[in-house]
Structure 1
């Protein structure tokens, strides 16, 4: 097996029951969303472990081949052709390996959650359809499903059951990943049976908003305090 991705880890207490694997966006790293943890986590939640992996460094076509941390190459802006699918599938395999490691460390498979922003969210959504694991919950922020028509058609033909619950949120003025791309992905995921909660925020660009964090906290809290 290939070497595991390097990660930054944050825990909210001494005995975590759930682990959240959170994937950063293009050109960022695993430290990017760590400061969100204190704002997001509510006092009545069980202890959590947040795992923030660092994507590999690779050249990005639309950035004139400049190398940066990325989960896959972006070849062009057209939604169906944007993502380097070989890179997407390689990242899916790398996140599957991280899930394997967390399960081996003692976490129940149903207590492993995935989250991602932008490129990281694209991998998280793809994991819902193609992971080796039955990913129970996915958070996808300011993002889209790579090659959405082909990917969902492949999923329809796989015979798998869409058990994953998905939280999707998007800024309506996002200049990087247009809200229409996120909405199309949301509608396709719903069409194959996924339980998707969709939020769109007027005036918001390619970033998080306080209302978005509040909505996510409410969605996560319902999961984490259910048992």
Structure 2
């Protein structure tokens, strides 16, 4: 375990970089997934087609393929940038499909009379969705949405393999490959870093689930 304490600053920086990747990906996935869920339940057929196609493509495509496309395909069509942002983009695109389905299941659980009442008082589809349906739907999607987001945090390790740099995956690679440290203690340090993110996230989501259950 000495390797962890001897390289504590390296692990700390990797933890903070991984935390940054996860935070940005969570925000992007929630925003994009909510928009796509709105498309999925839209009364406009082209929007429903876009939402359905989005989910079918990204939910059934391996994350590594999505990341390869973002990292190596986008530059081929003139979209250039740092691998950090390519990695986050791929993670957001992939996770948004699962977020969309979790939110859509919550929307479908809201009694139809709620949306009908909103339309009866003159609200548009967008207004009824954002002010009436979604606030009720989000209370029921905390457990599945939490599972999706925790899976995304673990998937961020795959993003590190695409040259993002500085994250926990890169720390493990640096210590084992460049410095010749023993793999087992290095990987234990990496695992502990991810557990420091996923366990508090699980506790927070459990508290949030109980909180909204009481409020319903």
**TM-score between the two structures when normalised by the length of structure 1:** 0.26
Would you tell me which structure has more helix in proportion to its own residues?
2
Rg comparison, structure with higher value: 2
**TM-score between the two structures when normalised by the length of structure 2:** 0.27
More RCO (CA 8 Å, sep 6+): 2
